[in-house]
Amino acid sequence: MVEDDEDIGRLLKFILEREGYRVTLYPDGRAATTRLETAEIPALVVLDVMLPYVNGHQLLGMIRASDAWKPVPVLMLTAKSGESDVVRALDGGASDYLTKPFQPAELKARVRRLVPRP
Amino acid sequence: MRAMPTPPAIVVKVDPEIADMVPRFLANRSRDVERLREALGRADADAVRAIGHTLNGVGGGYGFPAISELGARIEEDGGAGRIDAARRAVDELADYLARVQVETGEAS
């Protein structure tokens, strides 16, 4: 998961861990790019659009350009007013999107669509 | 002279499972009010818009849709350079934070 806002990141992590998922949180796009090269492939990426250093669209492009990461589903977090971000994310290969402010139940439902509960 | 009546509390019920995270969340929103007032003081509309954007994104998930709504107004006013309107919304947010009282239970 890549989310720069401390409160949103903590809440997302809490909700998903409560559902039984193992979550690693990265606070910015640059930190997340190191994961692309070194770490195990996750079952799902949750990606904010507005991130410091490397934004969500750029990260999505890197994921879809990587042979190893290409099949990983990506759920994008977009602003409610960001229709252009939604279009760009879906055109860029995002699997789904969630607009902020989000309701925890909607987050869980969208994640379940992409990754069954463990 | 009569004392001014105390404004009524605004009671918000939050999911008991996230109740422990709420005090920190609200403290961060009070810090946002300070940052907004600093930004308004220097007429930095872009900073006002950015902080409003964060407020908009974060409120609803914690069960505080009013914070998201005020954040959306601040974001829009900041984006349009309407400093006075943004200031009014920030004052409303400060008033809300001063009056909000958290209870656990089925989210309101």
Q: What is the distance between the terminal CA atoms of chain B, rounded to a whole angstrom? A: 38
B38-83, pLDDT tens digit by residue?
999 999 999 999 999 999 999 999 999 999 999 999 999 999 999 9
Q: Do B25 and A79 touch (CB under 8 A)?
A: no
Sign of CA dihedral A24, A30, A33, A37: negative
Residues A86-104 have a mean pLDDT of: 93
At B15, list the tokens. Answer: 């999911």
Q: Where are the beta strands (DSSP E) in chain B?
A: 10-14, 100-104
Beta-bridge partner residues of A77: A48, A98
- The dotted CATH code for B12-101 is 1.20.120.160
* B72 contacts on A by Cβ (under 8 Å): 80-81
Partner B contacted by A20 (CB < 8 A): no
Q: What is the CATH number of the domain that holds A82?
A: 3.40.50.2300
Question: Does residue A43 fall inside a structural domain?
Answer: yes
Of all residues in chain B, the one with the smallest CA distance to A80 is B57
Partner B contacted by A83 (CB < 8 A): no
Question: Does residue A1 fall inside a structural domain?
Answer: no
At A22, list the tokens. Answer: 């193992």
pTM of the model: 0.86
Domain that includes residue A69, residue range: 6-114
Please give the interface size between A and B, counted as residue pairs whose CB atoms are below 8 Å apart: 51
Mutation target for B interface from A100, A102, A111: give the one with most B CBs within 10 A.
A100
Question: Does residue A10 fall inside a structural domain?
Answer: yes
Of all residues in chain B, the one with the smallest CA distance to A14 is B18
Question: Does residue A110 fall inside a structural domain?
Answer: yes
**Percentage of chain B modeled with pLDDT above 90:** 82
Beta-bridge partner residues of A116: none
- Spatial separation of the C-alpha atoms in residues B22 and A7, rounded to whole Å: 10
pLDDT of residue A52 exceeding 90, the answer is: no
Q: Where are the beta strands (DSSP E) in chain A?
A: 45-48, 74-79, 96-100
Q: Which residues of B touch A (CB under 8 A)?
A: 15, 17-18, 21, 24-25, 28, 53-54, 56-62, 65, 68, 72, 75
Question: Does residue A68 fall inside a structural domain?
Answer: yes
Partner B contacted by A27 (CB < 8 A): no
Beta-bridge partner residues of A96: A75
* A81 contacts on B by Cβ (under 8 Å): 72, 75
pLDDT category at A83 given cuts 50, 70, 90 is confident
pLDDT of residue B92 exceeding 80, the answer is: yes
Cβ proximity of A55 and A49 under 8 Å: yes
Q: How many structural domains compose chain A?
A: 1
* Identity at B2, one-letter amino acid code: R
Cβ proximity of A17 and A104 under 8 Å: no
Partner B contacted by A101 (CB < 8 A): yes
